[in-house]
Every structure is written in C-alpha cells, then in structure tokens.
Amino acid sequence: MSAYPLGVEIACDGPTGSDDCPDSAAVRARFTSRTARQVRTDGRRNGWTTRRAQGRLLDICPRCRTHTTKEPTR
Ligand SMILES: [Zn+2]
C-alpha cells in the first residue's frame, strides 16, 4: 500500500443485499478510521450490522435492519 485513503465510505447494501438502501445511508466514520474494517466497527456502534451473504459481506444500516425480511442464516 503506497497511500492511505483519507476516508472510507461504507454504503448500506439494503435490506436484501440486492436492493439499494432507500436512504443511501453511509457509516459516519470516525476521523481515525481509515480502513473499511475500522469503519464497519464504527458503524456497529451506531447500529449497523454486517451480514455474510453469497460469499461477501453486506453492510446493513440500522434502518434496513429493522425492515429486514427473515433470511436463513448459517
Ligand atoms: Zn440501509
């Protein structure tokens, strides 16, 4: 890595992972959070959750989480 990104935006993947979040919410990262993992950790404090689906991580904002349909989780 030759450069650090100044900010990482973690956008919500929506309630199902295939739809965009209706609110286009994004995690508000702390100043010290530079990597996606750190930002996700920040988001978790604000109620964001991550879900693994179809081999990748989905970022779910608090609003979508409450609207999530029940999916089988393994
Ligand atoms: Zn959302």
Please tell me the total count of domains within the chain.
Answer: 1
CA distance 61 to 67: 10
Indicate whether this model's pTM tops 0.85. Answer: no
Confidence at residue 33, expressed as pLDDT on a 0 to 100 scale: 78
In a domain, 56, yes or no: yes
Domain span at residue 8? 1-69
Q: How far is the CA of 2 from the centre of ligand 1 (A)?
A: 32
Going by pLDDT thresholds of 50, 70 and 90, the confidence category of residue 10 is confident
Q: Higher-confidence residue: 4 or 38?
A: 38
Q: Which residues contact 5 (CB under 8 A, 6 or more apart)?
A: 34
Higher pLDDT, 26 or 10: 10
Residue 9 located in a structural domain: yes
Statement: residue 71 has pLDDT above 80: no
* H or E stretch covering 19: none
Centre of ligand 1 to C-alpha 67, Å, is 9
Q: Is the pLDDT of residue 73 over 80?
A: no
Given pLDDT bands bounded at 50, 70 and 90, which one contains residue 22? low
The answer to whether the beta carbons of residues 27 and 43 sit under 8 Å apart is yes
Ligand 1 center from residue 61 Cα (angstroms): 4
